[in-house]
Amino acid sequence: MNNDIMEKAKIYLELEENSAFRDEVKQLLEAKDVENLNDRFWRDLDFGTGGLRGVIGGGFNRINTYTIRKATKGLANYIVYRVPEKERKAVISFDSRRYSDLFALEAARVLAASGIQTWLFNSLRPTPMLSYAVRQLGACAGIMVTASHNPAKYNGYKVYWSDGAQVVPPHDKGIIAEVNKVSGRVEAMDAAQAKAQGLIQSCGSDMDRAYGQMVIGQSINPALFQEKASAFKIVYTPLHGAGTVPVETIFEELGMKVITVPQQREPDGDFPTVEYPNPEIAPALALAIELAKKEKANLVMATDPDADRLGIAVPEGSGWSLISGNRLGALLADYIFRISREQGQLPTNPAFINTIVTSEIQNRIAEYHGATSFRVLTGFKYIGEKIRQFEADNRYSYVFGCEESYGYLAGTSVRDKDAVSTAVLSAEMALWNNQRGKSIPAHLEELWDRFGYYDELLISRDFEGQQGQKIMNGMMESLRSNPPGEIGSIRVETMRDFSTGTSWNAENNKTEKNIDLPSSNVLQFVLSDGSLITARPSGTEPKIKFYASCRSDKGNDIPAARRELQQKFAAIESWINTLIGSQA
């Protein structure tokens, strides 16, 4: 057995205080399970720009009480270094995943040991409520224990700053540096002692009410709920997560009937009814659609475990159709900007934000309604950062933003994607369409007729472990050093490299530094027909993602437009599969 791995495992056993995680590693050592031990100790779990995410278990390359304590100690040191003593306050929340409540308490205990007062939610709450609470309570930081929509074996830890958004430069780099300095045993104050000294305080019902009223206040046309809600039926699934109570409570107050899928209503970190608790994929909504058919519902909604992502399905023909994240973003952008403009509610210099891999139709819609649109890197923290910049220079007023992976935010009370408020706005948008005798699919067709037919393709491939990381690094390096001349038989005109902020022009073979965004390991290829192909290794999972976005002028002939884009996507997918096959 590798002596270095053995030594790391023994050090971990000395540092880890949780018996369950200690026993896992002890058993592997006794069994001389080299493969498993290597996977758990070949590296320390990275504290990245968004925090931690990894498989739950014993080891330095796992999420456990020790790695949570180490991350929190680094955050605490950064707070002590950067924040005046009177302002050192934090908020911690958690979702339904295994050990989330324990990890949240461990984080609070470590902060308490550094003299940082912490509000700890008394039970699971959604990510957007954590973001809201940071701002409401005047905290300097927040922690959300969640792995979002990942499989059940994962958990994670996201860090927020005083504006309620996930940390961005310079704070992210500063926190990472402090986390990397932490070694040895990490002290945590006894929970009872911390509570007695006021260093850990409970957060609960008062924040629930304030957040709920804020969400209801996001409604653009509340009269729709008064006039139409009683005749409209929604089937909802929280996918065993944190959305149940806020969604049910808020819709009840709005007078709208919501039927929650009973098999998925209760929190359960094992997610027994789904392989992936992800509202982006059809199997996760299967039980909800089955119930919707039985109940003759008008709309299906699903939130992920920490209730920051929302997916919907709608009746179409004799069945039900899932609405993609890009398309729901387009529908909401059209509804929010259109109705706000008609009612005179648009602020001066309204702004819309989405990401570099999100459908361009959203930008065109927002601009059509008089807004200025902005594109940022993938990750909602960059939308939150842009909102802060708008407030600082007072040039633009943020109205709405979204990303393709089912994340949306209206207003500025929250600074991360918010599935709860988006559920309310999506229901309102559905009621508005119903009032004018339209379905949601018919609303989409209106947009395609005006702006052209847009569609997107996402291909994601997992590459686990040390070897998987090497494969992904090799793939990106190969694309950088030898850009393709064409993709799917369509000529490549430009390659944008977001790690260097440069664009390479295929025609003259020149590179120009012209991208004013933070450095990120992302490559984007602009094809001669306007199609965009983006390659991006995930920052939170062992996978690489390829995004393709294409447009057809045949927006008024949808079958023809679909056939045209299906042919393009088939050729693009073939190119991606060949690329992956050459590296794997």
CB 527 within 8 A of CB 491: yes
- What residues contact residue 394 under an 8 Å CB cut-off, 6+ apart? none
Catalytic residue check, 148: yes
AA identity, residue 540: T
181, exposed or middle or buried, with CB in 10 Å at 0-12, 13-18, 19+?
exposed
CB 92 within 8 A of CB 121: yes
Strands 299-303 and 233-237, sheet pairing: parallel
Long-range pairs of 386-393 with CB within 8 A, sequence gap ≥ 24: 386/351, 386/353, 387/163, 387/165, 387/353, 387/412, 387/415, 388/163, 388/165, 388/415, 390/351
- What residues contact residue 18 under an 8 Å CB cut-off, 6+ apart? 64, 65, 66, 102
Buried b (16+ CB within 10 A) or exposed e, 67-82: bbbbbbbbbbbbbeeb
- What residues contact residue 407 under an 8 Å CB cut-off, 6+ apart? 308, 309, 325, 380, 417
Orientation of helix 171-181 relative to helix 65-82, angle to 10°: 120
CA distance 82 to 93: 23
Q: Which of 148, 162, 413, 426 is catalytic?
A: 148
Instruction: Please compute, for residue 272, the number of CA atoms within 13 A of its CA located in the half-sphere on the CB side.
Output: 7
CB 267 within 8 A of CB 240: yes
Give the residue numbers marked as catalytic: 148
